[in-house]
Structure 1
């Protein structure tokens, strides 16, 4: 082998080693995150997390913040008699559910905006209509004031203020919450592009 051939052989070996090393850095940065990819932002004021709550699910069982401790979840507000945005939102939520229904540390929380009408049997029938299993998709009811406070002060999906019996939460926003109870994204549940982004962002959080 000539000196020139040896030189080129060594050059390509060193080039390959360098490339593999760079690729390794590109894939992982030692913390499990993709190198160069920014983490999802944390929304809300500094230190903001979801407040404690005490609700009831479609099975009639108590559901509290302890049931989502250490989990990633998506929160939404709807009501079963809604004929406007809610059917579109929950049809889109089915896509999220289909993607992550077998992920043990992921959940969907669908809160009713109309607890006076949306009783436990009504919520159970609605959940079954959407193929939702209570293991990871809960339809929640409870005290109206608490539900609205969660929407506005915890999930940041509504900017209103509780004004009594005539008050109502009607919002198209989904909130993505991480394992520490922090809001990591808000998505319009009626828009396909937002749903696509939500699905991708859930995956990013799972691997964060």
Structure 2
């Protein structure tokens, strides 16, 4: 017959085992739920196992894709060119200030990224408006003030419409079009491109070894997953900016 001390130990072991079993079951449930939601694949695996790999170059016809020459005026009416970004890691987007759908989310994400790297002199953002007829430097200045954009290396640029569209579609392969039936009159991609200090477009590779090329800019870290089951990629974009800054 067990003594009182032995009996107490026995019940302690039983309770400990029950607690371990309970938390183990909960962990399995959470992992399963996240896999079904699509967040495990991109946010967990890509933010852990792949974050230490060097970023890939985006290659077309056997050549590393480099940002083509451009020259546009920013929100301060200063002429900005691609050479002004050399030596800096920067994120590229195409947007317009009256966009009623994805642009505010994209800007919110870029502001969060900019705040994280606000002490980094070698980090910047290049925002090109696809509605230059309306988005003059003064309009872009108001937009910057509205969203608290203060980084001297964040240029919101406007200029010749055809040259901006050529830069988007031929330089970055990012879709941009004037569509009367689209919300706000324009349709465009909500993706961000990442550029290294030498002007090359870079990205991490997916689980199959292919460059991601772009990063989703229309889902916030807080949101996590959108209605289509796509995961946010702002977290991995931040990780990859750090990686390029360290090169």
- How high is the TM-score relative to the length of structure 2? 0.64
Instruction: Name the stretch that deviates more: 175-184 or 133-142.
Output: 133-142
The structure 2 residue matched to 1:139, chosen from 143, 151, 156, is 156
Query: After the TM superposition, which residues 69-88 of structure 1 pair with which residues of structure 2 at under 5 Å, given as runs?
Result: 69-88=86-105
- Secondary structure of 2:58 counterpart: coil
Q: Distance in 1 between matches of 2:171 and 2:186?
A: 16
Residue 69 of structure 1, CA deviation = 1.2
RMSD: 2.1
Residue 150 of structure 1, CA deviation = 1.2
- The Cα offsets for residues 159-192 of structure 1, whole Å up to 9 and x where unpaired, read as x789xxxx95511010000011111131110123
Q: Does 1:206 pair with 2:223?
A: no
Unmatched runs of 5 consecutive residues or more in structure 2? 1-50, 179-184, 204-213, 222-231
- The Cα offsets for residues 105-134 of structure 1, whole Å up to 9 and x where unpaired, read as 110011101000111110000011111125
- Secondary structure of 2:126 counterpart: strand
The structure 2 residue matched to 1:38, chosen from 41, 53, 56, is 53
Q: Distance in 2 between matches of 1:123 and 1:187?
A: 24
Asked if the contact 2:109–2:217 (Cα under 8 Å) also holds between the matched residues in 1, the reply is: yes
Q: Distance in 1 between matches of 2:134 and 2:119?
A: 31
Residue 154 of structure 1, CA deviation = 1.8
Match for residue 39 of structure 2?
A: none
Q: Distance in 1 between matches of 2:177 and 2:142?
A: 30
Match for residue 97 of structure 1?
A: 114
